[in-house]
Amino acid sequence: MANLLLQGVRLARHALKHRLDLLVPITSNTKRRVRWPLLTLRKVLPEPKQPRGVRLRSAFLELGPVYIKLGQLLSTRRDLLPSDLADELSLLQDQVPGIENFCVQDFVNQHLGELANNLRDIEAMPLASASIAQVHTASLVDGAQVVIKIVRPGIAEKIRSDMKNLQRLAQRISDLINGADRLHLPRIIADQTTVLEQELDMFHEARNQIQLRRNFAESDLLYVPRVHAQFTRQNILVMERVYGVPVSHVEELKRQNVDLKLLAHKGVEAFFTQVFDDNFFHADMHPGNVLVDTNDPSNPRYIALDCAIIGTLETADQNYLAHNLLAFFQRDYARVVELHIQSGWVPPDTKTDEFERVIREICEPIFAKPLDEISFGEFIVELFRAAGQFNMEVQPQLVLLQKTLLYIEGLGRQLYPQLDLWETAQPFMERWVAQRVAPANFIQEWVDAGPTIWQQLLRLPSLMQANDTQINLLKSHVHQQSESLKRIEGVLHKQNSSRRYKRVAGISLIGLSTWILWQPIAQGLNNGDLSMLAGVVSAFLGSALLVRA
């Protein structure tokens, strides 16, 4: 509790310093316990000079590694954040000073034991340093050059503590601020916690890197450095050292006469290959994690670094996504709506005509533009935002895909502004769908499923017997519920009849009493005595209320 309080005080201090209170809208629905403090702050504190996006980015930078990564994640949620905030958060750089008073040789000796003798010439100064890990160059006894990635000592405990506090804070914000639930802050924090846990585990990263390297072993699209698995530990990863030009250094690539158009299209092809052919895609392809192999400028290829975050899709999501993309290419908006409902991305009671109209309004202006002016990533963002109007919940499995697509398209357009992502994507998707519906593919699916089908056939008699038992049990429960409903109906009927009799009796008694007392009342009125009338009226009203009850 004390840690949460300290964290809250720290966040409040930075929020006030950068006037982040102005990010919270005040409406007629804002709760009073939130509205009044915000109004007071806005009257007391001076107006900020910097734009709100700059202030938010500065706050994340000052708060440290966990918040920088959170800002990076939020920058990809353009379906939830305004563009100015997303643009500023996308500028966050995760570069921090190296570990203080750190001896990398001692660290390696401690965690690798005798295996450390196989690593030579370990450079004391890090080649690169980030919030979670830093990298040192070294060589093996056979002379091969490698890099050693080391997780910062103590960083795991700090990250877990910070994320736990952030989870509580996110839930509190969602409970207090109207409209905040639409941002799904608790879920975003939970997803980011999972991502950070993966980045802390070098065994996890090693497995991902080995698999991705295997997937592109025979390809000229992407190169993945080799992992020296014998040295892998929870907090150490040793891999082949690779050389290339950072993908963001476009001028250097031009100087080396690299075919940028081909490189941009290869990026798109590599992305769709990972998502649809391999169903195993690198989900952190920001410029810092991508190099370009320029040994053959006429046929360049990408080099992928940092494989901690990998995305996959369920078969159903993969199929629906592919068919959705094709439907968009063909401008079949009714099919798009149908697929969204079938996939469960929007509720089954969605008004299909209205949903189709909204999608058409988004798509038609896009198709009216020249192809090289269309941003596929922004188009997907707009689609998710529109679907949100029809109660489409955030799909975690699609968030990583959306983020990766934005990265890939951003890199491609930086290399070659005329990149037509649709031109590359449409033939790929048509080919992929055609392969999926081809007879040979159906036959192969039956062959692959053969052992499972045979096993189920052998169990068929016992399954049928079990089903009979379940059906009989269900019939018994239905009969019991039917009898119970009949008993309840009988009780309710008796109660209603009793109420009717009581009402009739009560009304009759009131009428009879009025008739009997009418003459004394009339005499009292003639003599100017109202007490008898008041008593009777009170009795009448009380009886009426009792009868009504």
Instruction: Report the C-alpha gap between 70 and 60 in whole angstroms.
Output: 8
Q: Report the pLDDT averaged over residues 186-193.
A: 80
Report the distance separating Cα 135 and Cα 150, nearest Å. Answer: 6
Domain limit, last residue, from 310, 339, 372:
310
Task: Enumerate the H helices of 368-438 as residue ranges.
Answer: 376-388, 396-415, 421-437
Q: Give 442's pLDDT tier (boundaries 50, 70, 90).
A: very low
Residues linked to residue 134 through DSSP beta bridges, in sequence order: 129, 150
The string of DSSP codes covering 261-319 is HHHHHHHHHHHHIIIIIIS-EES---GGGEEEE-SSTTS-EEEE-----EE---HHHHH
Domain shared by 436 and 494, yes or no: no
Question: Is the domain of 280 the same as that of 357?
Answer: no
Is residue 200 pLDDT above 80, yes or no? Answer: yes
- The Cα 542–Cα 183 span in angstroms is 55
Does residue 136 sit in the same domain as residue 217?
Answer: yes
Identify whether 368 is part of a domain.
Answer: yes
Q: Are residues 249 and 335 located together in one domain of the fold?
A: no
Quick one: 131 and 263 in the same domain?
A: yes
Please name which of 424, 327, 301, 298 lies closest in space to residue 372, comparing C-alpha atoms.
Answer: 424
Residue 546 DSSP SS3 = helix
Contact 149, 306 (CB under 8 A): no
Q: What is the CATH number of the domain that holds 243?
A: 1.10.510.10
Among candidate residues 255, 279, 310, the one where a domain is terminated: 310
Q: Which of 284, 306, 317, 420 is catalytic?
A: 284
Side-chain-side CA neighbours of 331 within 13 Å: the count stands at 9
Among the listed residues 285, 329, 510, the one whose alpha carbon sits nearest the alpha carbon of residue 432: 329
| Tally of domains within the chain | 4
Range of the domain at 356: 313-455
pLDDT over 90 (residue 278): yes
Q: What is the mean pLDDT of residues 457-470?
A: 63
Grade residue 91 by pLDDT with cuts at 50, 70 and 90: confident
Highest mean pLDDT among 27-36, 61-70, 153-162, 203-212: 203-212
78 and 133: one domain? no
> Which amino acid, residue 308?
A
**Residues 300 and 320 reside in one and the same domain:** no
Average per-residue pLDDT for the chain: 79
Residues 285, 141 within the same domain? yes
> Is residue 467 in a domain?
no
Angstrom distance (rounded) from CA 181 to CA 187: 10
Query: How many Cβ atoms from other residues are within 10 Å of residue 219's Cβ?
Result: 14
Under 8 Å between Cβ of 114 and 100: no
Per the confidence metrics, is the pTM higher than 0.75?
no
User: What pLDDT was estimated at residue 453?
Assistant: 59
Single-letter residue type at 36: W
Please say whether the beta carbons of 77 and 112 come within 8 A.
no
Q: Which of 145, 114, 149 is nearest to 128 (CA)?
A: 149
Query: Does 542 score more than 60 pLDDT?
Result: no
Provide the pLDDT for residue 298.
Answer: 95
- Evaluate whether residue 435 is within a structural domain: yes
Q: Give DSSP secondary structure letters for 209-253.
A: HHHHHHHTTT-SSEE-PPB-GGG-BTTEEEEE----EETT-HHHH
88 and 138 assigned to the same domain? no
Is the residue at 180 inside a domain? no
328 with 389, same domain? yes
Does residue 164 belong to any structural domain of this protein?
A: no
**Mean pLDDT value across residues 403-432:** 77
- pLDDT at residue 1 in the model: 54
Residue 284 catalytic? yes
168 in any annotated domain: no
Residues 146 and 24 in one domain: no
Report residue 33's pLDDT band, with 50, 70 and 90 as the boundaries: confident
How much is the pLDDT for 2?
Answer: 59
525 within a domain of the structure (yes/no): yes
Instruction: Examine the fold and report which residue of 310, 334, 362 is the final residue of a domain before the chain moves on.
Output: 310
Amino acid identity of residue 469, one-letter, is: T
Kindly state whether residue 166 falls inside one of the protein's structural domains. Answer: no
Highest mean pLDDT among 13-22, 430-439, 484-493: 13-22
| Domain identity same for 326 and 387 | yes
pLDDT reading at 440 higher than 60: no
The pLDDT confidence band at residue 534, using thresholds 50, 70 and 90, is low
- Does 113 have pLDDT greater than 70? yes
